């Protein structure tokens, strides 16, 4: 790589840090050949359940040049969401990532600022930004760019800060200096596999999405949840953090400093009874800018009733 590529790379990483991203890694925009058979088998085994969108755009998921014409690089970024305070333990729980404002909007705004910086400081580029909202294999790109390894629970794990991160990407037509992957440090640990109450984590770093508590509480739109998983949700009413909470690497997690992700005090302190009596008006106020709105009031009430 030329010194000019290195200079651009350093400028981008410095600006990413200034914008609040914890880590930034860069990889060459090329087909993810190793991921193709894994994704194909995952879909064939119906591990996506009713998430039919996962079967769409197969080629785009594997080849960034089909998303951004002439793309040369994929910038992967991690944004910390680990909270300083958690919900009271004797209540129903939502996943930590949904404590504050919807991450899609918060992080996309920062990505656009980073693209604007590149346009101004380096030169006009063709780029697209992604935050869990397009056919991009985020964890594969983050691992490829050295930001961690993909654990047995299929979460990206950073060796110094764990896995409580949002992942985001910029695919662009600018050649940069590329980072190298790091090794997998999960070893013989099976903490996440052992802790999953619905046995969604399978051998070979595979999660059966159709068995995941997050799938049942967010993605599945049925009016009644399947009887066979009754009593297995361990008080999770939106998403699930079990496999991350038990991961030894998350002892290195440190609280985020993003004001937009701070939870409302009611969210932390509501009792089971208060969640059971939640009205639509309070739901709309409490989750005004939250990712929890994805399940809608009706969905959250269904989940709470299932836990009773």
**Residues forming the active site:** 132
Work out the angle at residue 123's Cα, subtended by the Cα atoms of residues 119 and 125, and round it to the nearest 5 degrees.
Answer: 65
Dist. CA 130–CA 169, nearest whole Å = 5
Question: Which of 193, 190, 232 is closest to 215 using CA atoms?
Answer: 232
CB 145 within 8 A of CB 152: no
Whole-angstrom distance, CA of residue 147 vs CA of residue 155? 12
The C-alpha angle 133, 263, 85, rounded to 5 degrees, equals 115
Task: Count CB-CB contacts under 10 A for residue 278.
Answer: 16
- For the stretch 273-282, contacts whose Cβ atoms lie closer than 8 Å and that sit 24 or more positions apart, written own/partner, are 275/91, 275/92, 275/237, 275/304, 276/304, 276/308, 278/304
Structure tokens at 23: 């880590």
**Exposed, middle or buried: residue 64 (CB in 10 Å: 0-12, 13-18, 19+)?**
buried
Placement of tokens 């690089």 in the chain? 73
Please count the residues of the chain: 308
Residue 177 to residue 8: CA distance in whole angstroms: 8
CA distance 210 to 277: 29
Q: Which pair of structure tokens corresponds to residue 173?
A: 């037509």
- Rounded to whole angstroms, how far apart are CA atoms 184 and 192? 15
């Amino acid at each position: 790589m030329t010194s000019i590529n290195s200079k651009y790379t350093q400028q981008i990483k410095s600006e990413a840090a200034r914008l609040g991203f914890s880590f930034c890694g860069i990889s060459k925009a090329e087909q993810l050949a190793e991921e193709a058979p894994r994704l194909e088998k995952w879909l064939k085994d119906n591990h996506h359940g009713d998430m039919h969108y996962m079967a769409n755009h197969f080629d785009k998921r594997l080849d960034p040049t089909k998303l951004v014409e002439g793309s040369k690089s994929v910038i992967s970024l991690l944004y910390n969401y680990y909270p300083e305070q958690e919900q009271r333990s004797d209540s129903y729980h939502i996943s930590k990532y949904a404590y504050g404002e919807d991450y899609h909007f918060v992080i996309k705004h920062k990505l656009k600022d980073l693209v604007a910086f590149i346009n101004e400081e380096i030169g006009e580029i063709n780029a697209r930004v992604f935050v869990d909202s397009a056919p991009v294999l985020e964890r594969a790109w983050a691992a490829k760019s050295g930001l961690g390894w993909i654990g047995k629970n299929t979460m990206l794990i950073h060796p110094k800060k764990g896995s409580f991160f949002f992942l985001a990407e910029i695919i662009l037509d600018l050649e940069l200096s590329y980072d190298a992957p790091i090794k997998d440090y999960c070893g013989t640990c099976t903490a996440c596999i052992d802790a999953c109450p619905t046995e969604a984590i399978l051998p070979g770093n595979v999660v059966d999405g159709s068995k995941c508590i997050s799938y049942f509480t967010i993605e599945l739109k049925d009016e009644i949840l399947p009887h066979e998983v009754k009593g297995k949700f361990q008080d999770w009413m939106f998403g699930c953090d079990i496999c991350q909470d038990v991961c030894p690497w998350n002892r290195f997690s440190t609280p985020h400093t993003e004001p937009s992700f701070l939870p409302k005090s009611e969210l932390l302190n509501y009792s089971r009874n208060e969640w059971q009596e939640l009205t639509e008006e309070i739901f709309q106020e409490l989750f005004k800018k939250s990712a929890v709105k994805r399940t809608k009031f009706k969905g959250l009430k269904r989940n709470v009733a299932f836990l009773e």
